[in-house]
Structure 1
């Protein structure tokens, strides 16, 4: 697997072409959990969840940056990026996939967005 993204002005090329390739070819193959919908869950169409897409994009970009550090890069990525994001993403009660089922799939917009009052003038 090599990147198709062109590097600019001395920046290294991405190893994974985009977040979808990162999740499908790396993260989904690496992470092995009991995703029973009770203690942990996942949505097979994760890209349909804005929060999940943002978190997984952040994980991908952090991985791409930290892979360049041969000493502590991957440890830093696991401890400070992957573990906290995966805890939130896979939380069966409060995570973005809480209404989805690893077996039955995606539930579109089961929860309302955060309430926001109008800004005072």
Structure 2
């Protein structure tokens, strides 16, 4: 790996390379980006994808920019819907955005292998049990 940590990737690569007019109207960014869980998740994803794709000398970096960096940065920097929407650009950080709202869902709704590792394990066990047919005596 070129960068040993997310902070190193951000400080030594992403921040110096990505230069934008952050005015809070057209683009938003928070100088305390590391206090926003979504920013940490997206930037960590960018770092890991960068480290993987840099090994493809032909198209790796193009793929990284077009398929990873551009969409993640657009989502992060969106001045109305991004995680920094209430931050005032380089001047400051605001932690007023709360988590997405959500009411509790009925647990049985998620009892399907597509939504739960436990349901997938249960389905696999049932499939194995069904496949274990006792041998019949040939004599």
Matches within 5 A, 1:85-100: 85-100=72-87
Residue matched to 2:15:
28
Whether the 8 Å CA contact 2:22–2:90 is kept in 1: the answer is no
Of 102, 115, 120, 1:116 maps to: 102
Normalising by the residue count of structure 2, what TM-score does the alignment of the two structures yield?
Answer: 0.74
Q: Secondary structure at the match of 1:40?
A: coil
- Which aligned pairs between 1:1-121 and structure 2 lie closer than 5 A? 14-108=1-95, 110-120=96-106
How far apart, in 2, do the equivalents of 1:76 and 1:28 lie?
Answer: 19
Q: Name the CA distance, whole Å, in 2 between partners of 1:31 and 1:56.
A: 13
Ranges in structure 1 where 5+ consecutive residues have no aligned partner: 1-13
1:58-109 Cα distance to aligned partner (Å, 9 max, x none): 000000000010000000000000000000001111100001122321112x
* Structure 1 residue 112 displacement after superposition: 2.2
Distance 2:98 2:51 in 1: 33
* Distance in 1 of aligned mates of 2:28 and 2:101: 25
Counting matched residue pairs gives: 107
The structure with the largest helix share of the pair is 2
Please, which runs of 5 or more residues in structure 2 have no aligned partner?
108-139
**Cα separation, 2, equivalents of 1:66 and 1:120:** 40
